Chains A and B, each alone.
Chain A
Amino acid sequence: MADTRIKSEISGNVWKILKAPGEAVAEEEPVMILESMKMEIPVMAPRDGVVASITVAEGDTVAEDQVVATLKG
């Protein structure tokens, strides 16, 4: 099974990364928090799983629909 890609819903900046590759996450658990227009927007895991990769760094700019992390398949 292919890895699950987690995408950003918004354009903004990566404020805090909460999970590292290899860490387990539960469905609806925040993987990172983005910041845009003075709002903090969490990026949630779409299902239970293990983080395969984090594809952005704190302070990075992200675009809407950009992949920011993946979960192991």
Chain B
Amino acid sequence: MFHKVLVANRGAVAARVVRALRLLGVRSVAVYSEADATASYVAEADEAYAIGPAPARDSYLNQDRLLEVARQCGADALHPGYGFLSENANFARRVQAAGLVFIGPSPRWIEAMGEKTAARALMAQHGMPMAAGSGLLGTDPAEVTAAAARIGYPVLVKPAAGGGGIGMLAAADETALLAAVERSRAISSRSFSDAQVYLEKLVERPRHVEFQMLGDRHGQVRHLFERDCSVQRRHQKVIEEAPAPGLPRPRAAAMAAEATGILAQLGYDNIGTVEMLLGADGQFSFLEMNTRLQVEHAVTEMVTGIDLVASMIRVAAGEALDAVLPAEIAVNGHAIEARVYAEDPVRFLPSPGPLHRFRPPAESATLRVETGYREGMTVTPHYDPLLAKVIAHAPTRGAAIAALAQALDSFEVQGIRTNLAFIQRMLASDAFRAGDVHTGLATETKN
């Protein structure tokens, strides 16, 4: 096991990693920007180093400074948390070159999954279910409509060089298709200097269901079942739960086993999440793979009883998966997480500012609260809007929803706006309570 680990992150995830290190008897080193000097995670670590001004590029993204602190404090490993440099293959390589272990998958996996079209091609080649799609479209309208007919309407026109949903247009028939292709090409050439587009089968009212994977450095991969993270705004998750409501257990287990088999073939060697869309027709299609710890890992920890953060550290230290995980992993009850964001609950606009009052609900065996903030701190515009994660675990989904709603009701925040009212509306909505979730639900429910 490691002697000392540098936690190259801030906030709730830094606190979470520090806690796992303490459990493992490993010394923890926190880093902080000028904005985070009084944050709780800094006090909880065994050592802490200032790394620069508040803007992330001057602190949490400053690779040279992080490596300098790593040398200075004598750490033998680095945990990147999530966000910031956690999926930066070049940084992972620099950490290794400096003689430290990067706690995460090998840089080649970060790279392979980072480029989304290449990742899809690699996964498809190994048998991962994919939404039907076309190659790059030519300019002949007959060729375009033939490609759509092969896939079946409705289809989605996507810019090949695109990102962030820009220029993505749905089409339900031939007329709409030709107009959408023309418009998507125009948007794409303006935004990405590339007019190439392709088609994909449109998944209507999709659910976001993802599978938690863990591999070791000895060729073994296992899964810890799934999470449903369909409640999203601006493509960012707000409520996550395990297990996925209404998904037949044999179907979930079969998809999880399939993903595990593919990652084992590839030789995946640490924590990762296979994100998929689940269509109303019950078909899964691959979205992307995240090569890091997820924000929502806690719901999996609560239903499986497995400490994912400690597990990823142990496999990074070279332990075999057999030694780290129990022989049988079962799903026990239901867990739901809410991400409390510093933002307007109606328009979802950021709301940084001072935390005049910040009183999260009390933790218990069935209620977890993870935050990097405390009363009196200021939430700066420099980082993501996550204030706290509140996770409730109960024997049934209904009881977990009730426990989460009750906990959030006692969460007091003054000085900034939060999305607490939005989360409560969501938890109380008929669609959510019925488990009738899809990625458009948050937008439908926001008013």
CB closest residue in chain A, given B416 = A11
Number of A-B contacts (CB under 8 A): 38
B261 within 8 A of A: no
Residue numbers in A under 8 Å from B385 (CB-CB): 37-39
Q: Provide the main secondary structure of the chain A interface.
A: strand
- A residues 17-43 touching B (CB-CB < 8 Å): 35-39, 41
Minimum CB–CB distance for B350 against chain A, Å? 4
Residue numbers in A under 8 Å from B351 (CB-CB): 10-11
Instruction: Please pick, from A9, A13, A37, A61, the residue contacting B342 in the complex, using a CB distance under 8 A.
Output: A37
B349 within 8 A of A: yes
Known: A37-B343, A39-B234. A10 touches B383 (CB 8 A): no
Q: Are B383 and A37 in contact (CB under 8 A)?
A: yes
Instruction: Please pick, from B234, B350, B384, the residue contacting A12 in the complex, using a CB distance under 8 A.
Output: B350
Residue numbers in A under 8 Å from B352 (CB-CB): 10-12, 36-37
B152 within 8 A of A: no
Q: Is the interface on chain B under 10, 10 to 19, 20 to 34, or 35 or more residues? A: 10 to 19
Residue numbers in B under 8 Å from A38 (CB-CB): 383-385
Residue numbers in B under 8 Å from A39 (CB-CB): 234, 349-350, 385
CB closest residue in chain A, given B348 = A39
Q: Are A11 and B342 in contact (CB under 8 A)?
A: no
B353 within 8 A of A: yes
Residue numbers in B under 8 Å from A41 (CB-CB): 349-350
Residue numbers in B under 8 Å from A36 (CB-CB): 350, 352, 381
Residue numbers in B under 8 Å from A35 (CB-CB): 381
Q: Is the interface on chain A under 10, 10 to 19, 20 to 34, or 35 or more residues? A: 10 to 19
> Whole-angstrom distance between the alpha carbons of A9 and B382 in the complex?
17
Residue numbers in B under 8 Å from A11 (CB-CB): 350-353, 381
Residue numbers in A under 8 Å from B343 (CB-CB): 37
Residue numbers in A under 8 Å from B349 (CB-CB): 9-10, 39, 41
Q: Are A37 and B384 in contact (CB under 8 A)?
A: yes
Minimum CB–CB distance for B141 against chain A, Å? 32
Minimum CB–CB distance for B427 against chain A, Å? 23
Residue numbers in B under 8 Å from A37 (CB-CB): 342-343, 350, 352, 381-385
> Whole-angstrom distance between the alpha carbons of A11 and B382 in the complex?
10
> Whole-angstrom distance between the alpha carbons of A11 and B380 in the complex?
9
> Whole-angstrom distance between the alpha carbons of A51 and B262 in the complex?
56
> Whole-angstrom distance between the alpha carbons of A12 and B353 in the complex?
10
> Whole-angstrom distance between the alpha carbons of A45 and B349 in the complex?
18
CB closest residue in chain A, given B234 = A39
Minimum CB–CB distance for B10 against chain A, Å? 13
Residue numbers in A under 8 Å from B384 (CB-CB): 37-38
- Produce 1/0 per residue, A34-69, CB < 8 A to B: 011111010000000000000000000100000000
> Whole-angstrom distance between the alpha carbons of A47 and B287 in the complex?
40
Residue among A9, A12, A37, A38 with the most chain B CB within 10 A? A37
Minimum CB–CB distance for B35 against chain A, Å? 12
Minimum CB–CB distance for A72 against chain B, Å? 27
Residue numbers in A under 8 Å from B382 (CB-CB): 37
Residue among A11, A12, A35 with the most chain B CB within 10 A? A11
> Whole-angstrom distance between the alpha carbons of A35 and B343 in the complex?
14
- B residues 356-382 touching A (CB-CB < 8 Å): 381-382
Minimum CB–CB distance for A56 against chain B, Å? 14
Q: Are B350 and A13 in contact (CB under 8 A)?
A: no
Minimum CB–CB distance for A29 against chain B, Å? 14
Residue numbers in A under 8 Å from B350 (CB-CB): 10-12, 36-37, 39, 41
> Whole-angstrom distance between the alpha carbons of A37 and B385 in the complex?
5
CB closest residue in chain B, given A35 = B381
7 A–B contacts, CB within 8 A, in A order: A10-B349, A10-B352, A11-B350, A11-B352, A11-B353, A35-B381, A39-B350
- Contacts A36-B350, A37-B384, A37-B385 given; 15 further ones with Cβ under 8 A? A10-B381, A11-B352, A11-B381, A12-B350, A12-B352, A12-B381, A35-B381, A36-B352, A37-B342, A37-B350, A37-B352, A37-B382, A38-B384, A39-B385, A61-B381
**Which 6 residue pairs are nearest across A and B when measured between Cβ atoms?**
A37-B350, A36-B381, A36-B350, A37-B385, A12-B381, A38-B384
The residues of A with any CB-CB pair to B shorter than 8 Å are 9-13, 35-39, 41, 61
